[in-house]
Amino acid sequence: MDKFEYWSGLPEVGIVPRAPHVGPLLQHVHEQEYGRGGFAGRVSHTYHLYPPNNWLPGETRVLEGWAPLWESPLRPVGGAHHALGVARPSAPRDVYRGMARLVANATVAMNVTAPAAPMDYFFEHHSATLVIFVHEGGGTLETLFGPIGYGRGDFLIVPKGIPHRFECAPGPQYYWVYESFAGDPEKSEAPTTGHFITHSRSDYRFPRTLDTRNEAGRFEVVSKVGSVYTQRMHPTHPFDVVGWRGDYLPYRFAVEDVRPLTADRSHVPPSAHTIFTLPGCYLCVFTVRSVEKEGMWLPFFHRNLDYYETIGYH
């Protein structure tokens, strides 16, 4: 036994082998790898009690009309438009079946959802990483890596392909949901401002409480690829993970932790308030800040010719 303690190279929770793919533990559990870009970049390994592909044969099917407003057609628009409110569905729907698309380009789509029904299934998005802003409501995001509690003003990042389920708390819920089709969100920073403007990576909250489920039954998983939704049934609970290691993870980030960049004598452009960069998209947060002494109260008239701009008030 070494008398000193050390950090391992990657975050890990629960029971894991010394290194991926090797060790006596793999005689008793089933390893699964999550990653993008082939076998390079961020990656996580989960260790399951049962094979992850043990879904029931003959019970996989395509779901027609499952989320009718998610793939709603978009038409070209110009000028200024104001979405003062989005009508709730006529019948109560859950987070994903009630998703409605507002704006999209080739790499990112912006959606809204007002869930009023529970999720009785697990969801995997195989075409995009999700960036979810909780405008109203709260609850628990159940993930393969453990639960994440969330509330008003929280961002939830769910990487592409990660199984999850929302357990919404009682009361009204309203989320803004961004789909990033071409890559994961990156923390925005520049050499001139450093690591801690507009926030720090230490503000990210990754799951650390592992909730292993050794349960038998019928567990529905819905996966989305493009505009196609597929259902499969598992005889064991998908969250049968006894341990995980890696950095391809879901996490939470609170808007209250944003520390905006301000200037005493000049208007700071919106790009300075960027918290996440996505391929083809910037996500900015404008928080309450001291009034610039000589700056304009409102931004100058401008035509941002290469960007489509949306703004939401929280």
What is the per-residue pLDDT for 266? 74
pLDDT of 224 reads 98
R_g over Cα of the chain: 21
Dihedral sign computed on CA atoms, order 37, 145, 94, 287: negative
**Per-residue tens of pLDDT for the chain, all 314 residues:** 678 988 888 999 999 999 999 999 999 999 999 999 888 889 999 999 999 999 999 999 999 999 998 987 776 666 666 665 555 667 889 999 999 998 899 999 999 999 999 999 999 999 999 999 999 999 999 999 999 999 999 999 999 999 999 999 999 999 999 999 999 999 998 888 889 888 999 999 999 999 999 999 999 999 999 999 999 999 999 999 999 999 999 999 999 999 888 877 777 888 889 999 999 999 999 887 666 666 666 667 888 888 888 888 88
Q: Using an 8 Å Cβ cutoff, are 205 and 151 in contact? A: no
Task: Please give the pLDDT value at position 1.
Answer: 60
Q: Output the pTM of the full model.
A: 0.93
Report the b/e string of 8-36 with b at 16+ CB within 10 A: eebbebbebbeebeeeeeeeebbbbebbb
- pLDDT for residue 5: 84
Cα separation, 214 vs 228, in Å, equals 30
How far is the C-alpha of 67 from the C-alpha of 62, rounded, in Å? Answer: 12
With beta carbons less than 8 A apart as the criterion, state whether 150 and 139 touch: yes
pLDDT at 17: 95
Tokens of 113: 């959802």
Give yes or no for a contact between 137 and 171, defined as CB atoms under 8 angstroms apart.
yes
Distance separating alpha carbons of residues 226 and 204, to the nearest angstrom: 29
Side chain identity, residue 21: H
pLDDT score of 293: 64
The two structure tokens encoding residue 1: 């036994």
Q: Tell me which amino acid residue 302 is.
A: H
What are the backbone dihedrals phi and psi of residue 294, each rounded to the nearest 5 degrees, phi first?
A: -120, 5
CA distance 245 to 189: 27
pLDDT for res 112: 92
Encoded tokens for 78: 């110009």
Strand 108-113 versus strand 186-187 pairing type: unpaired
Residue 23: the pLDDT is: 92
